[in-house]
Structure 1
Amino acid sequence: MLTVDFDRLGVEPGDRVLDMGCGAGRHAFELYRRGTDVVAFDQDADELAKVTEWFWAMKEAGEVPAGAEASTKEGDALQLPFADGEFDRIVAAEVLEHIPADIQAIAELVRVLRPGGTLAVSVPRWFPEAVNWALSEEYHSNEGGHIRIYTDAELITKVKNAGMQFDGKGYAHGLHAPYWWIKCAVGVNKDDHPLAKAYHRLLVWEIEKNPPALRAVGKVLDPMIGKSMVLYFTKPEAA
Structure 2
Amino acid sequence: MLRLLKKLTATTPVPAPAEPVAAPAAKADSYALGLHDAVLSGWFNQQTDELFKGFVVSADDTVLDVGCGDGGNVHFCGMRGAKIIIADIDGAKVEATRQRLSDTPARDIECHVSDCNPLPIADATATRVVSTEVIEHVDDPAQFLAELVRVGKPGALYLLSVPHPSSEDLQKDIAAPEYFQKPNHIRVISEDQFKAMVNEAGLEIISHSQYGFYWSLWMLLFWEAKVDLSDPDHPLLNHWANTWQAVLDSPRGLQIKQALDAVVAKSQVIIARKPVA
TM range (shorter): 0.7 to 0.9
Q: Which amino acid aligns with 1:99?
A: V
Say if 2:208 is the partner of 1:184. Answer: no
In structure 2, C-alpha distance between the alignment counterparts of 1:24 and 1:17, rounded to whole Å:
16
Q: Which residue does 1:199 correspond to in 2?
A: 240
Residues 74, 88 of structure 1: alpha-carbon distance in 2 compared, 3 angstrom cutoff: same
Across the aligned residues of Structure 1 and Structure 2, the Cα RMSD in angstroms comes to 2.7
In structure 2, C-alpha distance between the alignment counterparts of 1:159 and 1:21, rounded to whole Å:
17
* Structure 1 residues 22-101: aligned runs within 5 Å: 22-56=68-102, 58-59=103-104, 64=105, 68-101=107-140
In structure 2, C-alpha distance between the alignment counterparts of 1:230 and 1:108, rounded to whole Å:
19
| TM value normalised by structure 2 | 0.72
Residues 84, 179 of structure 1: alpha-carbon distance in 2 compared, 3 angstrom cutoff: same
Per-residue deviation, 1:176: 0.8
In structure 2, C-alpha distance between the alignment counterparts of 1:104 and 1:45, rounded to whole Å:
22
Deviation string 1:144-185 (CA, Å, 9 cap, x unpaired) is 210111111101111211111111112222211111122234
Which structure is larger by alpha-carbon Rg, 1 or 2?
2
Q: Which amino acid aligns with 1:33?
A: M
In structure 2, C-alpha distance between the alignment counterparts of 1:139 and 1:8, rounded to whole Å:
35
Q: Which amino acid aligns with 1:51?
A: T
Higher percent of residues as helix: 1
Say if 2:180 is the partner of 1:161. Answer: no
Q: Which residue does 1:133 correspond to in 2?
A: 172
Give the unaligned 5+ runs of structure 1. Answer: none
Q: Which residue does 1:124 correspond to in 2?
A: 163
Per-residue deviation, 1:43: 0.9
Deviation string 1:91-130 (CA, Å, 9 cap, x unpaired) is 1101111111111101100111111111111010011111
How many residues in Structure 1 have an aligned counterpart in Structure 2? Answer: 226
Per-residue deviation, 1:220: 4.1
In structure 2, C-alpha distance between the alignment counterparts of 1:142 and 1:188, rounded to whole Å:
20
Match of 1:52, SS?
Answer: helix
Match of 1:158, SS?
Answer: helix
Say if 2:59 is the partner of 1:18. Answer: no
2:154 to 106, 115, 139: 115
Give the unaligned 5+ runs of structure 2. Answer: 1-34, 44-50
Select between 226-235 and 67-76 the one with higher mean Cα deviation: 67-76
Indicate if the aligned counterparts of 1:19 and 1:28 stay in contact, CA closer than 8 A.
yes
Indicate if the aligned counterparts of 1:10 and 1:118 stay in contact, CA closer than 8 A.
no
